Amino acid sequence: MKKYDICIIGGGIIGASIARELAKYDINLVILEANARVAMETSAGNSGLVHGGFDPTPGRLNARLNVAGKLRYEDWIKEMEFPYLRIDSTIVAFTAEEMEHVHMLYERGLTNGLEAKEMEIIDAKELQKREPNISKEAIGALVCNSSIAVDPVELTKTLFTNAIRNKAELKVNSKVIDIKKSKDGYEIKTSKGEVINSKFVINVAGHYADVISKMAGHPDFNLVTKRGEYRILEKTEAGIVNSVVFMVPTIHGKGVIVAPMLNGHVLVGPTAEDNVPKDETRLVTQKQFDFIGEIGKKLIPSINMNKTCMTLSGSRPIEPTENDFWIKPAKGDDHFISVAGMKSPAIASAPAIADYVIGLVEKVEKLNKKKDWNPIEKTILPLS
Ligand SMILES: Cc1cc2nc3c(=O)[nH]c(=O)nc-3n(C[C@H](O)[C@H](O)[C@H](O)COP(=O)(O)OP(=O)(O)OC[C@H]3O[C@@H](n4cnc5c(N)ncnc54)[C@H](O)[C@@H]3O)c2cc1C
């Protein structure tokens, strides 16, 4: 039986971020992923925005890690080559009530640690100047200039490439089917029939993190789903918006956008559907497809939704009791850490989530840096 110091379960963007940052330490590290490729679940069905950090409720862990994560992206951008674009977020108000929310979000941004120069509130005239296709019914907006668009699938691949360069082992087609406590850690069995032993387990299994935690004897939390569906418009529609144009999040559900994509297409959505089955988190339904058309038209009346060439879907894994990121050691076992409830802004927070998890490991065991850790990853991966 092969022995590891740390086993990460889950090869989405959060597992990749933790693997990349943990690979700087002198440990035997393995990542187990159920699918044949990495980032095929929630990490492949989202808006891909490193949010500015004005939206999360102040005081929550996700508010703190969003702002810290956004700053830490600057290290990743220096060290690794992956597609990204610095782009404004424009949160558009249509009513006086929504305009009040825009002001509230500005204040919330300051409370969360954004600098005043990162945000501005603009009136209808200025909004029309910056976004000429926006609805004439819009009355103003909050603009945040510190967001970054990333391609989460490509970023996941880059992070894993760097982790592997630094001696981490990634095993795909390796669904974890059994976990038992052993005298020096955990015995983990995969669908390939392989059994590995690891001192620490880091459970980053997305929608299945609650299942994995229970499998290991830790029924500490449950997760629920909230599926979001999108339509992707042809490249002919590029230029219809200049920034990521949002509905006011607190009123219309989180993060409804019309946005330019890094590959030249335009993204419209997502919807929000509660409690879909775990194995239907990537479905697109006719009803939501039609509803996305209405969302697009509300923000941008001239948008041609008939130019839909692809659809996309993913679901936010939500821990309903705290409604925050659930990044905790199991009750009674600090060697089993769950990184769950990874709803938005988890991509924005990803580097800070990795730092936070390393902090939890270091509370139990000292980690020593590798002398030859190589943070540089300049392998250029094509956009998918
Ligand atoms: C509609 C939508 C929009 C979003 N927009 C944004 C945004 O703009 N900005 C932002 O910051 N966040 C956003 N998010 C949140 C973000 O997409 C997620 O937080 C992130 O992708 C979660 O990544 P993950 O690695 O935790 O999960 P996943 O990507 O789901 O990865 C978990 C992995 O675990 C694997 N796994 C499961 N069970 C097992 C097992 N038994 N054995 C081995 N492997 C297993 C799965 O196959 C999967 O690959 C959005 C989410 C949604 C749904």
From 21, 43, 189, mutation site for ligand 1 pocket: most ligand atoms within 8 A of C-beta: 43
**Residues 197, 249 share a domain:** no
In the predicted model, is pLDDT for residue 383 greater than 50?
no
- The mean pLDDT of 152-180, rounded to a whole number, is 97
- The mean pLDDT of 69-74, rounded to a whole number, is 98
**Residues 199, 98 share a domain:** no
Boundary of a domain, candidates 318, 345, 373: 318
CB under 6 Å to ligand 1: residues?
9-15, 32-35, 39-43, 45-49, 51, 175-176, 204-206, 208, 212, 228, 255, 270, 314-316, 342-348
* Model pLDDT, residue 1: 81
**Residues 280, 245 share a domain:** yes
CA of 207 relative to ligand 1 center, distance in Å: 7
Task: Band the pLDDT of 155: cuts 50, 70, 90.
Answer: very high
- The mean pLDDT of 16-21, rounded to a whole number, is 98
* Model pLDDT, residue 177: 98
Q: Which amino acid is at 178?
A: D
**Residues 164, 122 share a domain:** no
How many CB atoms within 10 Å of residue 176? 24
Atom of ligand 1 nearest to the CA of 272: 1
- The mean pLDDT of 28-48, rounded to a whole number, is 97
In the predicted model, is pLDDT for residue 382 greater than 90?
no
- The mean pLDDT of 49-66, rounded to a whole number, is 97
CA of 235 relative to ligand 1 center, distance in Å: 26
Boundary of a domain, candidates 318, 333, 368: 318
**Residues 334, 348 share a domain:** yes
Q: Can you tell me the distance from the alpha carbon of 137 to that of 124, in angstroms, rounded to the nearest whole number?
A: 9
Task: Band the pLDDT of 255: cuts 50, 70, 90.
Answer: confident
CA of 77 relative to ligand 1 center, distance in Å: 21
**Residues 270, 234 share a domain:** yes
Tally of domains in the chain:
2
**pLDDT tens digits, 195-240:** 999 999 999 999 999 999 999 999 999 999 999 999 999 999 999 9
Average confidence score pLDDT of the chain: 96
- The mean pLDDT of 131-146, rounded to a whole number, is 98
**Residues 94, 141 share a domain:** yes
**Residues 310, 229 share a domain:** yes
Structural domain for 341, as ranges: 1-85+147-223+320-384
* Model pLDDT, residue 222: 98
- The mean pLDDT of 266-273, rounded to a whole number, is 96
- Any residues with CB less than 8 A from the CB of 40 and at least 6 apart, and which? none
* Model pLDDT, residue 249: 75
**pLDDT tens digits, 321-374:** 999 999 999 999 999 999 999 999 999 999 999 999 999 999 999 999 999 999
In the predicted model, is pLDDT for residue 384 greater than 70?
no
**Residues 251, 132 share a domain:** yes
CATH of the domain at 163: 3.50.50.60
CA of 201 relative to ligand 1 center, distance in Å: 18
Which residue's CA lies nearest to atom 25 of ligand 1?
Answer: 12
**pLDDT tens digits, 345-358:** 999 999 999 999 99
* Model pLDDT, residue 253: 61
> What share of the chain in percent tops pLDDT 90?
94
Candidate list 51, 101, 207, 265, residue with the active-site label = 51
**Residues 79, 66 share a domain:** yes
Task: Band the pLDDT of 254: cuts 50, 70, 90.
Answer: low
**Residues 165, 75 share a domain:** yes
CATH of the domain at 232: 3.30.9.10
From 17, 18, 37, 42, mutation site for ligand 1 pocket: most ligand atoms within 8 A of C-beta: 42
218 assigned to active site: no
**Residues 179, 134 share a domain:** no
From 35, 72, 344, 349, mutation site for ligand 1 pocket: most ligand atoms within 8 A of C-beta: 344
Boundary of a domain, candidates 318, 346, 365: 318
